[in-house]
Homo-oligomer: A and B are copies of this chain.
């Protein structure tokens, strides 16, 4: 043991996760069961975070009542998208995530004090790792056959007030989940070429 080497995943999975995956603005009228949202979290949770700190906190907005609450905080262009999607995940991060380190990272015994004494470090750690977990959630959704529509166009303070009252959790981005309507897709944007974004030294 110790010397194994994994294979590339198959082309179908690669296409579904990366090369053919799209962000959907329109949605089929098809429900996403609560059980599938549990399965989704139980996949995404395995993605790595610094010191296993796991700051991501989620509200899956599904009921008509919660949807109407959420749309009051959205940019105009996102309201119809959210109304049409079966679920919208509100992705936030817990600024006091370090209270769970004793159980989640017992070998980093005193790390909680490092964060409780340094608000800027706690905030950047929560934002960075909560965002990584948001991307794992997106990839896990695609792996399960769901389509995603991530969005930043909303009033963060208002979403915090409505879905994360108390000030401990801060909203990051939101993401529609469901089964996308391919007839409503826009043309796909280009991507920066390797030499613009990367180098090997």
Contact = CB atoms under 8 A, between A and B. Distances in A.
Q: Which of A125, A189, A196 has the most chain B CB within a 10 Å cutoff?
A: A189
Contacts of A66: 201
B145 A5 contact: yes
A153 B201 CA distance: 21
A7 to B, nearest CB: 5
Contacts of A120: none
A144 interface: yes
B8 A145 contact: yes
B128 A152 contact: yes
Chain A interface residue number, banded: 35 or more
A6 interface: yes
A52 B152 CA distance: 12
B48 A7 contact: no
A131 B62 CA distance: 27
7 contacts: A7-B145, A19-B43, A48-B148, A50-B152, A58-B197, A60-B198, A139-B139
Contacts of A103: 190
A18 B6 contact: no
Contact of A59 (B8, B57, B146, B199): B199
Contacts of A63: 201
Q: Which of A13, A23, A63, A196 has the most chain B CB within a 10 Å cutoff?
A: A13
Contacts of A109: none
Given A143-B9, A143-B18, A38 B194 contact: yes
